[in-house]
């Protein structure tokens, strides 16, 4: 669950993004079942490692994600998850589960010979960061999370069951319009039947409203409708729906249940006060009782990584972490 839009920024002195930067390393890592994972590194090759986990599921990385980190200090590792972005095969859900993604992160760590790293993830990226850290706590030095999504049915019900639609009834009406009235009791299942029907045109036609619903609610100010490339929409919608139809391949309440495995780690949670995609309740529950966690509730902000106050706070967090060593 994530939308990303680039913005211009210059200096980090006031929490602004760092200038654009090109990777010093790009590679494809071969995995099981024909998957190849696109990985890139930028910043300082000898710096403290930070692994960036993009949202979705299905989103992919973007050049703007490199710009939250001081390139003199951080060794920034970004990768496109299975089926996403430049990883291949595109939009494939074969052997594509949370456990597979955890295994891919391990493979990346081994290929790059990474010491314990900071995990930086928002939305679904926060979900994956928590799942990985709870599986491999020895491989993690800290977590920086944004727009927390815990992969729970209650969160999916909020977004796809009409809760968020009460605030945006006009946009909700557009989202449910392609689905017959007698199937609207379970919109994830209804869209799943169409996104995986085997007809490319039908899948793409239903992917666009799926993605448009999420994009429209990502920011505090509803954006004007923008063109969504059909191939991107299909890949994103299929992967996201695949995960949501399977409860993100997590046990109920798993990430809260297993939090004790990572409570020795420091964590900073940046949460938009008016996040309509991932409401603050989940961030609050995650932080409550975690001694090393700091919850920063950002006023007048929603869900998107590049909302000005959200972006500024994330840069400040990473700069402070760099200064602290």
Encode pLDDT of 152-177 as tens digits.
Answer: 999 999 999 999 999 999 999 999 99
Do 229 and 258 fall into the same domain?
no
Q: Is residue 186 part of a domain?
A: yes
CA of 35: how far to CAs of 83, 93, 96, in Å? 8, 10, 9
Query: What pLDDT shows up at residue 15?
Result: 72
Query: Which among 87, 123, 282, 301 is annotated as catalytic?
Result: 123
Q: Is residue 147 part of a domain?
A: yes
Q: What pLDDT band is residue 14 in, cutting at 50, 70 and 90? A: low
Do 129 and 267 fall into the same domain?
yes
Q: Is 104 a catalytic residue?
A: no
Do 95 and 54 fall into the same domain?
yes
Let me know: does 58 contact 84? Beta carbons within 8 Å. yes
Cis peptide upstream of residue 89 (ω within 30 degrees of 0): yes
Number of H helices, E strands in the chain: 10, 8
Do 180 and 124 fall into the same domain?
no
Q: What CATH number has the domain bearing residue 305?
A: 3.40.50.1820
- Burial class from Cβ neighbours inside 10 Å (0-12, 13-18, 19+) for residue 130 reads buried
Checking if the pLDDT of 26 tops 80, the result is: yes
Checking if the pLDDT of 263 tops 90, the result is: yes
Do 37 and 135 fall into the same domain?
yes
Q: What pLDDT band is residue 24 in, cutting at 50, 70 and 90? A: very high
Do 67 and 207 fall into the same domain?
no
Checking if the pLDDT of 13 tops 70, the result is: no
Checking if the pLDDT of 185 tops 50, the result is: yes
Q: Is residue 33 part of a domain?
A: yes
Q: Is residue 60 part of a domain?
A: yes
Q: Between the CA atoms of 197, 201, 205 and 206, what dihedral angle is there, to the nearest 10 degrees? A: 10
Query: Which among 54, 206, 242, 303 is annotated as catalytic?
Result: 303
Do 144 and 34 fall into the same domain?
yes
| Domain end point (choices 191, 215, 248) | 248
Percent of the chain having pLDDT more than 90?
A: 90
Query: What pLDDT shows up at residue 224?
Result: 46
Query: What pLDDT shows up at residue 4?
Result: 45
Query: What pLDDT shows up at residue 5?
Result: 39
Q: Is residue 1 part of a domain?
A: no
What is the pTM assigned to this prediction?
0.95
| Domain end point (choices 248, 268, 298) | 248
Q: What pLDDT band is residue 190 in, cutting at 50, 70 and 90? A: very high
What is the C-alpha to C-alpha distance for residues 65 and 148, in angstroms, rounded to an integer? Answer: 17
| Domain end point (choices 200, 230, 248) | 248
For tokens 């997590």, the residue is: 250
Find the mean pLDDT for residues 244-264: 98
Do 84 and 55 fall into the same domain?
yes
Domains: count for the chain: 2
Query: What pLDDT shows up at residue 225?
Result: 52
Whole-angstrom distance between the N-terminal and C-terminal Cα of the chain? 31
Domain housing 104: 25-152+249-324
Q: Is residue 10 part of a domain?
A: no
Query: What pLDDT shows up at residue 138?
Result: 98
Q: Which phi and psi angles does 82 have, rounded to 5°?
A: -50, 130
Checking if the pLDDT of 10 tops 50, the result is: no
Query: Which among 275, 282, 301, 319 is annotated as catalytic?
Result: 275
Query: What pLDDT shows up at residue 222?
Result: 54
Beta strands in the chain (DSSP E): 25-30, 36-43, 48-53, 74-79, 117-122, 140-146, 267-272, 293-298
Checking if the pLDDT of 221 tops 80, the result is: no
Query: What pLDDT shows up at residue 205?
Result: 97
Checking if the pLDDT of 288 tops 70, the result is: yes
Q: Is 36 a catalytic residue?
A: no
Do 203 and 109 fall into the same domain?
no
Find the mean pLDDT for residues 259-268: 98
Q: In which element (H, E) is residue 98 found? A: helix 98-112
Checking if the pLDDT of 19 tops 50, the result is: yes
Q: Is residue 6 part of a domain?
A: no
Do 89 and 224 fall into the same domain?
no
Checking if the pLDDT of 101 tops 80, the result is: yes
What is the C-alpha to C-alpha distance for residues 245 and 239, in angstroms, rounded to an integer? Answer: 10
Checking if the pLDDT of 134 tops 90, the result is: yes
Q: What pLDDT band is residue 228 in, cutting at 50, 70 and 90? A: confident
Do 58 and 77 fall into the same domain?
yes
Q: Is residue 124 part of a domain?
A: yes
Do 94 and 226 fall into the same domain?
no
Query: What pLDDT shows up at residue 223?
Result: 55
Q: Between the CA atoms of 46, 50, 55 and 57, what dihedral angle is there, to the nearest 10 degrees? A: 80
Checking if the pLDDT of 18 tops 50, the result is: yes
What letter does residue 88 receive in the DSSP assignment? B
Query: What pLDDT shows up at residue 220?
Result: 82
Let me know: does 322 contact 21? Beta carbons within 8 Å. no
What is the C-alpha to C-alpha distance for residues 175 and 153, in angstroms, rounded to an integer? Answer: 19
Q: Is 303 a catalytic residue?
A: yes
């Amino acid at each position: 669950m994530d939308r990303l839009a680039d913005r211009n920024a210059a200096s980090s002195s006031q929490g602004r993004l760092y200038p654009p930067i090109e990777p010093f390393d790009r590679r494809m890592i071969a995995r099981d079942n024909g998957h190849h994972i696109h990985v890139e590194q930028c910043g300082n090759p000898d710096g403290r490692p930070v692994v960036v986990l993009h949202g979705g599921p299905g989103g992919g990385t973007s050049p703007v994600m490199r710009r939250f980190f001081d390139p003199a200090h951080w060794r920034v590792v970004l990768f496109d998850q299975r089926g996403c972005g430049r990883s291949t095969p595109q939009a494939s859900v074969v052997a594509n589960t949370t456990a597979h993604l955890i295994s891919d992160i391990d493979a990346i760590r081994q290929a790059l010979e990474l010491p314990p790293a900071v995990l930086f993830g928002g939305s679904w990226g926060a979900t994956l960061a928590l799942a990985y850290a709870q599986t491999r706590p020895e491989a993690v030095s800290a977590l920086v999370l944004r727009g927390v999504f815990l992969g729970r049915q209650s969160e999916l019900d909020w977004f796809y069951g009409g809760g968020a639609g009460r605030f945006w009834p006009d946009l909700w009406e557009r989202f449910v319009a392609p689905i017959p009235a007698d199937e609207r009791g379970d919109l994830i299942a209804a869209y799943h039947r169409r996104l995986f029907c085997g007809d490319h045109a039908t899948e793409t036609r239903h992917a666009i409203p799926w993605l448009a619903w999420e994009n429209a609610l990502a920011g505090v100010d509803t954006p004007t409708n923008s063109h969504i490339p059909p191939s991107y929409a299909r890949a994103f919608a299929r992967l996201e729906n695949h995960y949501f139809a399977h409860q993100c391949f997590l046990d109920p309440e798993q990430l809260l249940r297993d939090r004790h495995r990572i409570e020795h780690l420091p964590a900073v949670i940046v949460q938009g006060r008016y996040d309509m995609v991932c409401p603050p309740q989940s961030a609050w529950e995650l932080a409550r009782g975690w001694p090393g966690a700091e919850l920063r509730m950002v006023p007048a902000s929603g869900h998107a990584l590049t909302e000005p106050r959200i972006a500024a706070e994330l840069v400040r967090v990473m700069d402070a972490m760099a200064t602290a060593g």
